[in-house]
Structures are given as C-alpha cells and as structure tokens.
Amino acid sequence: AAEPLKVGFAAEPYPPFASPDAAGKWEGWEVEFMQAICAQAKLDCVITPVAWDGIIPALTSKKIDMIVGSMSITPERLKTIDFSDKYYNTPTGVIGPKSEKFDATPAGLKGKTIGVQVATIHQDYANKYFGSAGATVKEYQTQDEANNDLAAGRLDAVQADAIALDAFLKSDQGKQCCELKGNVKDDPEVLGAGVGVGLRKGDTELKDKVNAAIKAIRANGTYDTFSKKYFDFDIYGG
Amino acid sequence: MTERAEAIAVTNLHKRFGALEVLKGISLTAYEGDVIAIIGGSGSGKSTFLRCINMLEVPSEGSVAIRGEPIAMKQDGLGGLAPSDRRQVQRLRSRLGMVFQSFNLWQHMTIIQNVIEAPVHVLGVSKAEAVARGEALLRRVGLFEKRDAYPAFLSGGQQQRAAIARALAIQPHAMLFDEPTSALDPELVGEVLGVIGDLAKEKRTMLLVTHEMKFARNVANHIVFLAHGVIEEQGPPEQIFGAPKSERLKKFIHSSH
Amino acid sequence: MTERAEAIAVTNLHKRFGALEVLKGISLTAYEGDVIAIIGGSGSGKSTFLRCINMLEVPSEGSVAIRGEPIAMKQDGLGGLAPSDRRQVQRLRSRLGMVFQSFNLWQHMTIIQNVIEAPVHVLGVSKAEAVARGEALLRRVGLFEKRDAYPAFLSGGQQQRAAIARALAIQPHAMLFDEPTSALDPELVGEVLGVIGDLAKEKRTMLLVTHEMKFARNVANHIVFLAHGVIEEQGPPEQIFGAPKSERLKKFIHSSH
Amino acid sequence: MSAGEKAAEPDSLVELPPEESTVEATALTRLPSGRGFLKPHRVVLMAIAASIVFCAVWFLRWDWLPDYAGRLAHGVGVTLLMLFGTCLLGFVLAVPIGLVQVTGPWPLKLLAKGFCTIIRGTPLLLQLWLLYYGLGSLFPQFPAIRQSFLWPVLREAWPYGVAALTMSFAAYEGEVMRGAFAGVPKGELEAARAYGMSRWKVFRRIWLPRAVHRALPTLNGETVLQLKSTPLVATITVIDVYAVVSKIRQVTYLTYEPLLLLALIYLCLTALLVLAFRYFENKIPTRSA
Amino acid sequence: MAADPASMIDWGLLALDPPGWGGVLLAGLMSSIKIAIGGYSLGLVLGTGGAFGKLYGGPVTKDLLEIYTTVVRAVPELVLILLLYYAGTDLLNRLAASLGYGTVDISGLAAGIFVIGVVQGAYATEVMRGAILAVPPGQIEAARAFGMSPLLALRRVTLPAMLPHALPGLSNLWLITTKDTALLAVVGFSELTLVTRQAAGSTKAYMLFFCAAGVLYLALTLVSNLVIRLIEARARRGWAAR
Ligand SMILES: Nc1ncnc2c1ncn2[C@@H]1O[C@H](COP(=O)(O)OP(=O)(O)OP(=O)(O)O)[C@@H](O)[C@H]1O
Ligand SMILES: Nc1ncnc2c1ncn2[C@@H]1O[C@H](COP(=O)(O)OP(=O)(O)OP(=O)(O)O)[C@@H](O)[C@H]1O
Ligand SMILES: [Mg+2]
Ligand SMILES: [Mg+2]
C-alpha cells in the first residue's frame, strides 16, 4: 500500500521502552522492536504518538493501524481488539524503600500500601494476592506516578514489570530511595499471556504479517541483538 | 382645514393584546401642518395608538395611510393583520420622525453619528451632506458643541434634544412624540418643550402624546382625549380645556393640576 | 415654638467634597412636631444636608445634636472630622427614620421582613411584637395584603409606602425624607404624598426635601430654601411662597410652576 | 442569565452588563420548565432521542456493566463528596476574597487579585500536579512531618485534590463574589446604616445575603464547572467516577460505551445540581420580564 | 526527590535547542495558541448563530440549540472530545465508505479546532444571547422606527450595541479556551500540556517543567488580559465612566 502504516505509541514516555527526546525523536526498546518487525515485514511504518486515553479509539477509528505500547494480552481486551502473539513477557517485581525490609510475598506486604498502574495485569495480581492479604492497593494512571509516590514516601511498595522497575532503580531518584524486594510468585492465569501488538479486530492480514515478523526476528537473532542494548536478561520470557 | 393635504389618516383602528382590547376603533386625520396633542390617563392606549401609526405595533383591524398612501395589510392567518409589504413599511417609516419617551439614542454612536445614521444608511444621503445637515440641526437644538459626545455623557434633556435632531434629520413628513418629557427631571423639561414649541410654530405636522397640559394647550391646534381605547372627546384646545363636555375629560383636566 | 423640646439641632454645618464646598455653614433647629420642608435647586446641597444629620455623610465642620444629645466628633487626622463613638452614632441613627428617593428597600426580604428588620436586629424588639406592629403600620399605609411580597413586585408608589412603614417601625424621634416622590411616575406621587401628609397631621417631627412646592406649602410649618450651600431664606410657608424676599427664591418659585 | 438580576442596577444612564457574563453563560438555570413541555415537535424530538437510546442499548456492548455497578456507585459517591466538600470550602474562602477586593485595604486587595489571577491563569491540572507531586513530595523529606500525626493524612492523595479544587473554586467564585458584592445597590447598604446597623450586621443581614442571591445563577454554573473539574483528581489516584470509567476502558478497551455512560452520569448529576439551585433561587423570586 | 531540591534544578533542560526542552515547550505553546484561536473563532461563529437561533428561531431550532448548549455544558470536555473526535471520524469514515470514497484522514489540528469550537460555541451562545438581551429594546425599536430593515438594524445597532455586554464573557471564554487546549493531548495533539508531560517524564524534572508550563500559561493569560483591556476600552467608548 502507498499509505504508510501508522504505529501508535503512548504519548506519555515509558522508558526504556519508548520515550521521545527533546528533538521529538522516539527511542527505546519498543521503538527498535517496531522498526525491526516493520523492516522484516517490508512495511512502511511511521510513529504516531497518541495519549494513552485515546489510543484504543484511535485504533478502532483507523487513525492508527497498530499499537506498540506494552499492552498485555487479556481475555477481556480480546473481546474488543485483537493482539499479535506476545513479543515480550517479563517477570513481575516489587520494589520498596531501602529503609524497610520485607519480601514480595503476601505476608511481607501485609498492611503496606502498594502502588500499581491501573488496569494492568499487575493490578489484578496485586488485588488477588496482596489486597486479599491485608495490603492496600493504590491505582495510578502511569507507572511514573507510582514510582514518584514511592520515592516521596507515600507508598511502601510498587509492583510492576521488572524492567520498568529496573529502569527506575537505575535512575537518580530510584538509586537513592529504593531497592528490589524480589519478584512475585508466578501465576500464569493472571500474569500469563505477555505483551502483544494491539490490532484492529478483523485486520487479519496485518496480524499474520506481524506474527510472521515476530517469529522471523526471533529466529534470525535481530530480536536478541537490539534487546542486548537494553537488557542483560532474556526479555522474551519463557 | 380641508384644503390642506392629508399627512396621516387612521381609520377605525383596533388593537388587541390577547384578550385585552386596548384600542377600540379610532379614526383620526392629521393634515399637513397640524399639531395634534393626544392626552389621556395612563393605560388609555396613547402610546399604542402612536406606535400603530408606524407599525411598531401591528393593528388588529383598521387602516393607516401616510400622505394618502395606505399601508398594505394582509391577514396573517391567525385572525390578525400583518403588513404585506415590508419594504413599503420601511420606506414610510423612514419619513416618520419618532421621538421616544426614553430617547433611545444609540449608545455606541456619538451624537452626530446618531443623527446621520438614518439619512446615510436608510435614505442613502451622502455622508458629507448628512453631516452638514446634521450639524445644522444640532446647532438648532443647541447641541452643536456636543456633536462628538456619546449619549451616556449627556443629561436627559440634552439626550432628548439630540433625539429630536435625529428625528428631524430624515426630513420627516410628520413627527411622532411619545411623552418626550416624562422621563426628564422637572428642571430639564423646559428645554425640550422649548424645542418642540419652535417646531410647532413652523407648522410641522406633529402628533404628540403628552402629560403637560399647559404645553398641549399652548402648542397644539387640536386635542384628542383618549379614554379606554376610544376618542372620548376632541377639538381645539380652547374647547377641550375651556369647555370640556364629557365627565371623564372634566375629571381628567381637574386631576392634572 | 420655644416651649417644645429640640428634636434636631444643626449648628454651623460645613461639608466639603475635596475642593468643592457643598454646605457652607448651616444652622437649623427642628423642635418636636416640626415639619420642615427643604427646597432648593438641583445641586444646592439638600441631600447632603439631610445625610449629614444621621452621619451618612460626615460633616467637615459643625455639630449635630439629636434630642439634645450632641454627636461626639473628633479630628480624623486629615483635617476633617469623624464621629468618635460609632456606637453612639448607631444608637442615634436607630431612632431616625430615613426615607430615600429610590426607596432602597432590601430586595432579598419581603415587605414585612423589611419592616421588622431594624426593630428586631437593631433595637432588639421581639419578633412577634415587631410583626404585630409592622402589620399595623402596613395596614396604615395600605399595604397589608402585600406583606409577603418582595419589593421587586411592587409599584414605585407601593415601594415608597413600604419604605415609610419601615421608617415608622423604629418609632423614630424624627423622620427624614429625601425627595420621597421624585423617582415616582406622576400618577403614583399622590398616594405617597397622602401618607406623608397624614404623618404631618399627627405632628411627627419631619425634615422633608421635596420638589413638590404645593405639597410643601400645605404640609410644612417651616420652609428652608437652600441655595449654593447656604440657607438663602427661611420662614413659614405663607411668607416663603407668598412674599419671597430674595431674588433667587423668587426665581426658584417662579420656575417651579 | 436572569433578567431580574439587572432590574436593580445602580444609577447609571446606561445599563452596565452583569459583571461576569461568562459565568452567567455557564449557568444552567434556564432548562425547559415542566409546563407546556409537550408540544408536537417535542414529541417527535423525544421519539428520535428514544430511538437513539434504543440503538445505543441494542448495538453496543453493556455486558460489563453489572461487574462494575458497585464501583461506579462508589465513584459517584467520591465525586459528589469531592464536589460538595470543595465547593463549600471554596465558597467560604471566596467570600473574603471577593469582599476585600471591593472594600479591603490595598495590600489585601492586591493579594486577593493576585491569587485570582494566578489560579485562573493556569490550568487546574498543573496546579494539582504542583501540589501533589511538588509540594507533597517535599513533605516526607522533613522527618518532623513524617513522624507527625499529620503524616497519615498527608500521604494520602485526597487532601491535595481537595486543596487544589478548593483553591480553584475559591478563585473563580471569588471573582464572582466580587462582582456580586459590588453589584448590591449602594442605597440598600446605606439604608441599613441609616437604621443603625453596625458594619458586621450590615454585612451579615444585608450585604452577604443579597450578594449571594445575586450570585446564585453564576454559582450554579461554577458548581457545574467544578463537577466537570473533579475528574482531574483521578490523575492523583483518587478514584472518582471518572477514574472508575477510565479503568473500565483500560480493562475492556471499549471505546464508546463507558464514555456514554459517563456522559449520562454527568448529565444526571448536572440536572440534580440545577434543580437544587433552582429551588434556592426561587425562594426569593426576582422579577423577570 | 533529592534532599536539596534547589541544587537539583538543571536549567539546561530549558535550553531552546535539544537536548534542552525549551524549544519544544515553546512549540507546544504555539500549537496551543493556534488551536485556541481556531477553536475560539469557530466558537464565536457558532455562538452568534446559536444566540440568534435561540432568540429568534422556530421552536425546533430553539429546542435543538437548548439540547446542544445543555449537553455540552454538562458533560466534561474530555469526554466530549473523545466522543466527538473518534465517534465523529468513525461515522464520517463509514459515511465516506458507504458513498464509495476511501477513508478520510482528518488532521489532528482540524479535528481539535472543530471539537474546541463546538464546546466553546455552546458557551458563546449563552454569552451572546445574554448580551443581545441586555441591549435595551428601545435601541432596536428606534432602528426599526427609522425604517431600517432587520438586517441593517442587526448590523448597525444590535451587534455593536451588544458588544460591550458580550466582551467580559467572551474574554473569559478566550482564557478558558487557551487552557482547554490541554485536553487535545488525548487526540495526540502536541500542545503545551502534553509536551510538558513528555519533557517531565523523560527527564524526571517534574517540578521544573510544571512550573515552566505554568509560567507560560500565565504569560499567555496576562498578555491576553492586556489585549482584552484595549478592545474593551474601544467597545465601551460610548459608556459613561463607572
Ligand atoms: N405589548 C403589550 N402587550 C400587552 N399589553 C400591552 C402591551 N403594550 C401595552 N399594553 C397594554 O395596553 C394598555 C395601553 O398601553 P399604552 O402604553 O398604550 O398606554 P398609555 O396611554 O401610553 O399609558 P402611559 O401614559 O402610561 O404611557 C395598557 O393596559 C398596557 O398594559
Ligand atoms: N459623594 C460626593 N462626592 C463629591 N461630590 C458630591 C458628593 N455628593 C454630592 N456631591 C456634590 O454636592 C453637590 C450637592 O449635592 P446634593 O446631592 O446635596 O444636591 P441636592 O440639592 O440634593 O440636588 P438634587 O435636587 O439634584 O438631589 C452637588 O454638586 C454634587 O455633585
Ligand atoms: Mg405611553
Ligand atoms: Mg438630592
């Protein structure tokens, strides 16, 4: 097609996956991932930043054609949009202030306030395991805000995907205050499916191309090449 | 009186507001040069009558003719009348100089702009000519030096004189005054009555609703006494004020000191 | 006159607004039962004089005494005066019934609430008593059935009568009227003048600024003619209207038909 | 805009416009009244509306609704609590802010004016963030605060939301009250003084009630604006009805259905507010043409 | 956050050229102003039409306008923008498709202006309606009495006479518009608030950028106030001093 494919990114920065610099250039792991699959599938892709709030309607009303936005695949969402196969799946970690000692277990988090990003698998997980065990789960619109509140002492812990947490712990702010308390016990039912490319329902042609491209870059090593620049472990997960 | 041309002829005018019949069949002819004062108690329909003449209120029945030209009316489908030719109404209005109780000068224009507005934008007079004539009129009502002031900065009396100049600027066939002094402080009434008195002396056709009996008596050549929507009595001032016949008129004259 | 007690005594009152000296030394004593009409041209300082009596304007010089009690004044440090005891002023005001040209009824209260406001909240009368007295007063000015209406729904004449009832409700030592009828349509003037005339007949102490010469003549026992901030002439009505001495007064009486 | 408002404008030849016609523009008091409501064209309009509603119910997905009904109700509760709390507090602040601008000494006047200008000149969202992420994250650096009894409150999000919304309401309403105080006819205040009322009594019995009454339609509009501002607290983790709806959108990725529901909820809340205000306004009738 | 916030302020982040974000913020401000001007102008047009429709229109026009102004003023702008923007383009696309055209792509700018315009139009309708009502009827009657046609009276008398009444409201609306542009972030438009969030999120210098944006908004307001004052002085020339 002559029309370039518009790839939606959440306009809010989400390092190290995707964030714009002052010149307006997007960088991060997901940007490279997107470029890799587009190159693989011989698609002409342009990045279209859309605020998170409007990203789904943007997809359904064809303002963008796919979303590369660290979106976890859930059955509930599958009723509305389609997903490609997963392209990464990371362990889930819990961080907390250095001054307090506890584990990332329901017992360890009892009575603590734990921050999660709203409507993520982490929220579901935290509610299921920690909320029921006496922790307060607080919802944030963005991961950044949760991290900030942890640094500000308004939270005792933050649960999120280990990579995002790792990036935070490496930042100036995170270095000073906080440390990893450990990864949570896996529950494939809640944390299971991993992250996929968001697609319009019925856009099977594109879905097939993307799936094929993901398989291909996994197979030919491209995936690992650019992943190494960002992570020192296997982000694809088991 | 009969040798003069008809300026305004009203025949069998009725006006209803809903169920209330305010005018109940009024006929009145003003010939060129007539000065007719309309008097009557509050609510007797004086303003309504005046406003029917230039169709600010549309009569429910009857007809109005200006200089022999009847205003074309049609049924409006609701049992009332409506002017059938808006252009005709606008044309006739553009030669009737109306002066309101509350002046109604346009507040966003200076006095001279008020005066030349209708000549320039309605009658199509050139601006230079309109200004020249307007200034002459303002000088005449004693407001030349206020020409570039805005109405809000003038006293009530000055505003009313400006309104009179505005009405004169269209070189009206007839002037209609609706209680031109009753919104004024007592001290300011005189200056406006003076100007109107001068106009009367020039034999301009004028219809004048007023509460100032003394003034009406001095200035008008014909007095019409309206009561409850009909002309209760009319005639020359000496007769109306000197020898009123109807009981109502007697009482009215008595009460208005 | 001398056997009666002094109700209001004003001595050598001056009032300046910036450079403009509006009152230039006025002395006037009203005894109990006096009805004093203050007349004069526009801007002569009538309102200012009246307002100085209850300290709505603070005099620049001179003194005011109510029922023999002088209002304590002090220098305000800017070369002018100021009341030195706010409570005293409030107490004295609470027995002076002022009626304004523009009524100034409190729009957010019904008529009866207006009437009982000062008795209840200033004088400390019980509400039941205030209502009973208030209703009697309203009946007296012919407004009993309007007792629960809001002022905005009353005609000007009715509003002014309500304002008079409000002033009477505080059982005032003296009533101050500032052109009580000049904001009214001519037809409504009568009803208010009627009420004031009745009060005058009862020999209530009243100071009355008015433009209604005929009324002043009939009602007042003393007329004060103010011109350019001084009392140009004063005396009983027959003398003032019948045999005016000063040129200014003659002209004034003549002009106000 | 109620015409009666202007009936009592002070002595000026021209009628001055109401001080705050904007906010008048937000006043929703003029909703159609019950009487004479059913006219033929209205029946047609309502039929069209009904069919639209029917389409919405029929063709869109509403299966998620029962799962969230409880949380939605709770969210509405939080929204209302935020709304009434901040409006009341804000109004209490607005009265002195408006008053000092009319009569106060100049330093206070300047202060009030500056407060209004700054708050009205910057987006509420920024103020909220500055308070919560800025000021709020400074607090924990002081052990004194961290140890104090205030900390459990200060570490919550709602106090910041309440503070930001209150200040915003106070600033906007302060301007309105300034106009309302200034608009009370001088003569009525003078009459009050002439009857011996003390300054405080004049204020309490005449000036304030009169100004509030004048400001009611505007106040109504401001309250509706405040209702529409409350969703911003969702960005600082206060779960109001808007946050619940965004969550539904995130979980289900549905585009229109939750938004339509939200619009409906806000319409209903607005209608309730309008009715409430109308009740108060009608307590003191003003004459309108 | 660090213990000593003052030392943490890195003014270099505000530099005009990358890697400083100053240029980006200014560009965001310009976009905001652009959208505000566009949306506001559209709002004025809609408002004028709406006001006259509400005052002089037929019963159906009046009712529809009433629904328009009520709904728009009762529902949060964010919701309206999402609904209008996406549902609107959705419908448009379906319409275009059913008529045989391809999908139309509406630029964020055009859509943003449209949406803000529709929202502002509702408020402007009420402002103008109030202003027209505030013109003393005698002024308009005098125009009629001098033979002006309705259109001439509108142009020469009603509009200029209502202007002073409408100005305070309209200028307030302008200030609201400049801040409402922030809502367009959700449709992916890079206006000031969104770039502020991006800058803050990327650099973690939240306070610095929030304050910077606050200052920019405030400056816009203050400049607007100056201009408004000039316009107002001109429109009120015929008014007695207060
Ligand atoms: N537009 C209207 N709708 C309904 N009734 C009206 C209207 N205009 C006038 N009236 C009524 O018609 C009657 C006559 O009014 P009009 O103004 O002609 O009296 P008027 O003689 O001019 O009185 P005034 O001396 O008070 O001006 C009054 O009862 C008035 O209430
Ligand atoms: N607060 C004020 N500041 C400045 N000048 C004032 C003030 N009040 C009144 N004046 C001036 O004082 C003069 C007298 O005013 P005052 O109102 O007492 O006159 P008046 O006799 O009541 O006139 P009128 O019959 O018009 O009511 C006028 O020139 C007026 O302009
Ligand atoms: Mg009349
Ligand atoms: Mg006076």
Q: Which amino acid is at A185?
A: K
- E8 is a domain residue: no
Confidence of residue D27 (pLDDT cuts 50, 70, 90): low
- E21 is a domain residue: no
Looking at per-residue pLDDT, the higher value among D131 and E200 belongs to: D131
- E4 is a domain residue: no
Looking at per-residue pLDDT, the higher value among D289 and D181 belongs to: D181
The pLDDT score that the predictor gives to residue E101 is: 72
Chain segment E175-201, per-residue pLDDT in tens = 888 888 877 776 667 788 888 888 887
Q: What does the alpha-carbon distance between residue B204 and residue B195 come to, in Å, rounded to a whole number?
A: 12
pLDDT at residue E240 is higher than 70: no
Take residue E167 and report the two structure tokens written for it.
Answer: 């100005």
Q: Is D193 within 8 Å of chain A by CB? A: no
E143 CA distance to ligand 1 centroid (A)? 21
Evaluate: CB of B113 within 6 angstroms of ligand 1.
no
- E14 is a domain residue: no
Confidence of residue E5 (pLDDT cuts 50, 70, 90): very low
Looking at per-residue pLDDT, the higher value among C238 and E242 belongs to: C238
What is chain C's mean pLDDT, rounded?
90
pLDDT at residue D78 is higher than 90: yes
Q: Which atom of ligand 1 is nearest the CA belonging to B49?
A: 18
Chain segment D268-277, per-residue pLDDT in tens = 998 888 888 8
Take residue D178 and report the two structure tokens written for it.
Answer: 């300034």
Q: Which range has the worst mean pLDDT, B169-183, B204-218, C216-230, E179-193?
A: E179-193
Whole-number Cα distances in Å, D21 to D2, E36, E227: 11, 20, 19
Q: What does the alpha-carbon distance between residue D134 and residue C111 come to, in Å, rounded to a whole number?
A: 55
3-state secondary structure of A160: strand
The pLDDT score that the predictor gives to residue C209 is: 94
Instruction: Decide if E238 and B98 are in contact by the 8 Å CB cutoff.
Output: no
Q: Which atom of ligand 1 is nearest the CA belonging to B17?
A: 4
Name which of B42, B46, B155 to mutate to probe chain C: the one with the most chain C Cβ atoms within 10 A of its Cβ: B42
The label of the residue with tokens 């196969």 reads A85
Name which of A141, A142, A158, A199 to mutate to probe chain D: the one with the most chain D Cβ atoms within 10 A of its Cβ: A141
The residue nearest atom 22 of ligand 2, judged by CA position, is C47
Whole-number Cα distances in Å, D159 to A148, A160, B123: 17, 26, 68
pTM of the model: 0.79
Q: Which atom of ligand 2 is nearest the CA belonging to C18?
A: 4
| Of E161, C107, E46, nearest in space to B106 by CA | E161
Least Cα separation, residue A52 to chain D (angstroms):
9
CATH number of the domain within which E113 lies: 1.10.3720.10
pLDDT at residue E242 is higher than 50: no
pLDDT at residue C71 is higher than 90: yes
Evaluate: CB of B46 within 6 angstroms of ligand 1.
yes
Evaluate: CB of C40 within 6 angstroms of ligand 2.
yes
What is chain B's mean pLDDT, rounded?
90
Q: Residue E176: give the domain boundaries.
A: 27-237
Q: Where exactly are the structural domains of chain D?
A: 63-283
The domain at D63-283 falls in which architecture? Orthogonal Bundle (1.10)
Q: Which residue of C has its CA nearest to B41?
A: C187
pLDDT at residue C229 is higher than 70: yes
The pLDDT score that the predictor gives to residue D9 is: 30
The residue nearest atom 28 of ligand 1, judged by CA position, is B43
C140: number of Cβ within 10 Å: 16
C46 CA distance to ligand 4 centroid (A)? 6
The pLDDT score that the predictor gives to residue B50 is: 93
Chain segment D46-64, per-residue pLDDT in tens = 888 888 888 877 777 888 8
Percent over 90 (pLDDT), chain D:
30
Structure ipTM: 0.76
Confidence of residue D4 (pLDDT cuts 50, 70, 90): very low
Whole-number Cα distances in Å, A182 to A95, A96, B207: 7, 10, 99
| Of A115, A56, E76, nearest in space to D231 by CA | E76
- Measure the CA dihedral B248/B251/B252/B254, to 10°: 160
The pLDDT score that the predictor gives to residue E36 is: 92
pLDDT at residue B26 is higher than 60: yes
The pLDDT score that the predictor gives to residue C155 is: 86
What is chain E's mean pLDDT, rounded?
82
C160 CA distance to ligand 4 centroid (A)? 16
End-to-end CA distance of chain B: 31
Sheet holding C206-209, edge to edge: C96-99, C174-178, C206-209, C35-40, C222-227, C230-235
The pLDDT score that the predictor gives to residue D36 is: 60
Take residue B105 and report the two structure tokens written for it.
Answer: 């000068």
B102 CA distance to ligand 3 centroid (A)? 11
The contacts of residue A45 (CB under 8 Å, 6+ apart) are: A4, A5, A6, A7, A34, A35, A38
Count how many domains chain E has: 1
Phi, psi for D96 (deg, rounded to 5): -65, -35
Q: What does the alpha-carbon distance between residue A81 and residue A76 come to, in Å, rounded to a whole number?
A: 9
Q: Is D113 within 8 Å of chain A by CB? A: no
| Of C163, C215, C150, nearest in space to C189 by CA | C215
Minimal Cβ distance to C56: which of D188, D193, D287: D193
Evaluate: CB of C44 within 6 angstroms of ligand 2.
yes
Question: Which region, left, alpha or beta, applies to residue C235 given φ > 0 means left and ψ of -120 to 50 means alpha?
Answer: left
- Measure the CA dihedral A154/A160/A164/A166, to 10°: 80
